[in-house]
Structure 1
Amino acid sequence: MKKPKIAWITDTTSSLSKEFIKQHNIHVIPLHVVINDKFYKETIDITEEDFYNRMKNEEGKFQSSQPNIGDIVDLYEKLKEEYDFGIAIHASSTLTGTYQTSVMATEMAGFKLFAIDSHTGSYPLSFLVKRGVELVEKGVDINEVVTQLNALREHTRLFLVPSNLDQLHKSGRVSGSQKILASLFNIKPILSIEDGAAKIKDKVRTEKKALAWLVNNLKDDLHSKKVQKVAIVHANDRERAAGLEQLVNETFPHIETEKLMLITVAGVHTGVGTLGLSWVNE
């Protein structure tokens, strides 16, 4: 029986390396970032680093936007000619409409697609893509691959600590009075991506306590679960990210770590200087 030719599709919220994308021929749909009403395609017109530099140094409105459906239809029309079907793993449908747009586009193009709403983004989304590729290469049945990836979504962790509440206030996530109180008392909200949505998981005093909170949550999972790698995510603050990575390495010397720039879809709300930890329980 002839082995089916499968196209892998994701979006720029997956934070996959250029090497992995090239090696496995991943088709990456760029989301848009919007700066003062001007649209830029992520990773094509603007890098995450450039975006955060501009957010830090420019006044104005910083937003994100889902891809144009016409661009995705064009992609699927091309893939239809070359592949038997596709597997698309996208950022949480609660945080961006990319998943819904992808599903609509595949129907318009007549391209057979197994679409997965990752319920997350950033490192956990990259993990799901890599695991999917690995399972297919092992010859696992496509329906079983989708089942396993859907099950794995519930075991992802992504926690973020904004350096301040400026951007959360601008995007309407916190009120002016909340911002003032947080600043006065040095309160750090800890955000969690759970069931596809961003939630305030806890509030602590001082950044030191916030980072200890992150490490302790990882420690709790390690009591009963296996974690091979931890990602330190940051909104263009390499120095503080290196400090958090050192803390993780000292506490858990057996776990591999990597540093990732925070996806701009999250960064438009949490702002420059956001730090976080992410892992997947296996």
Structure 2
Amino acid sequence: MAAIFCDTDCELWYTHARELNLEVIRMPYIIDGEEKLCDLGEETDTHDFYTKMRNGASASTAGLNQQIYYDTFEPFFKRGEDILYIAFSSKLSGTFEYLDLAIAQLRKEYPNVKFRKFDTLNICMGAGLLVYMAAKYCREHGDDIDATYAYLEKNVKKIGIYFVVDDMKYLARGGRISPAKAKIGNLMNIKPVLTVEDGKLDVCSKQNGTKKAYKYMLDVFASTYENIDNAPVVIVDADCGDVADAFEEKVREINPTVTIWRQPIGPVIGAHAGPGTLGLIFTRK
């Protein structure tokens, strides 16, 4: 069996990762000065995490060093297994520089091992949906990682991901926007609809108020959704389940036949987006 790796920045729920026998690289986050590792929801108390953020706790993220990457992959190189790592966007973190150094070292030590890394150019379940689809494809096609890589290339641009944050100050803290823009946006009740474009966070629309921002996401879903290999539609929320419940009803009104997954936004993504964030991820035309 080929070894398929993902990282916790893809936020694929731990039960799905286990179902597909995925190897998971756990990414770190810091809350209130304590570093922890994300676990795809297995034991993380996201309500507690977001309560701490609401109460003023500082939250941030970190990358991994070369040695951790080496130690993670070396047993698989040693066993001579084919390895496919489906990663979150390389344009959102410097951690992949250390991955590249580790893999270069391992390739020298184990030159006959096939290792491939695919950059999803996405984050959160935008990456996770690709991981899920590709892992299923791989397991159903004889664990052929080259064919799976081609499958990923075919579908990488067919993932729609849209977020609305409740308070832009968290984006400012993470350096995603300037503090001045965050303050003005909050004062004027401007709600940017965020997406990931070419691997980077981008604003695809600015709406006056949360209701209009949510409607924008629903309109985009209605006009661009396409069923690809029966992939689910995913609704994620940062401790705002009631809002997500109402939003799910609207999605079902648009397309009653879709399978919908619901899950919380994990702490690595949540550290930048903040509590109250709502996201919609789906396959598109």
Return the match for 1:220 from 223, 227, 245.
223
Deviation track 1:68-116 (CA, whole Å, cap 9, x = no partner) reads 3322211211112334220000111111234443333222233531101
Corresponding residue for residue 161 of structure 2: 158
Q: Can you give the 5+ residue segments of structure 2 that lack an aligned partner in the other structure? A: 108-112
Corresponding residue for residue 122 of structure 1: 124
Cα distance in 2, alignment partners of residues 192 and 174 from structure 1: 14
Corresponding residue for residue 236 of structure 2: 233
Amino acid at match of 1:123: M
1:132-143 to 2 correspondences below 5 Å: 132-136=134-138, 137-139=140-142, 141-143=144-146
Structure 1 position 60, deviation (Å): 4.0
Return the match for 1:258 from 255, 258, 261.
261
Q: 1:147 to 1:53 in 2, by over 3 A?
A: same
Q: 1:48 to 1:119 in 2, by over 3 A?
A: farther
Q: 1:233 to 1:120 in 2, by over 3 A?
A: same
Structure 1 position 131, deviation (Å): 2.3
Structure 1 position 125, deviation (Å): 1.9
Could you tell me the TM-score, scaled by structure 1's length?
Answer: 0.88
Q: 1:186 to 1:244 in 2, by over 3 A?
A: same
Would you say how many aligned residue pairs link Structure 1 and Structure 2? 275
Corresponding residue for residue 107 of structure 1: 104
Task: Report % sequence identity.
Answer: 25
Cα distance in 2, alignment partners of residues 94 and 269 from structure 1: 15
Return the match for 1:29 from 8, 20, 25.
25
Q: 1:97 to 1:175 in 2, by over 3 A?
A: closer
Matched, 1:207 2:210: yes
Matched, 1:95 2:92: yes
CA contact (8 A) 1:190 1:202 kept: yes
Q: Can you give the 5+ residue segments of structure 1 that lack an aligned partner in the other structure? A: none
Q: 1:268 to 1:142 in 2, by over 3 A?
A: same
Corresponding residue for residue 110 of structure 2: none
Give RMSD over aligned pairs. Answer: 2.2
Deviation track 1:138-190 (CA, whole Å, cap 9, x = no partner) reads 23753232122023111111111000112122223333442333233211111
Give SS of 2:50's match.
helix
The worse-fitting range, judged by mean Cα deviation, of 225-234 and 155-164 is 225-234
CA contact (8 A) 2:38 2:266 kept: no
The worse-fitting range, judged by mean Cα deviation, of 142-151 and 212-221 is 142-151
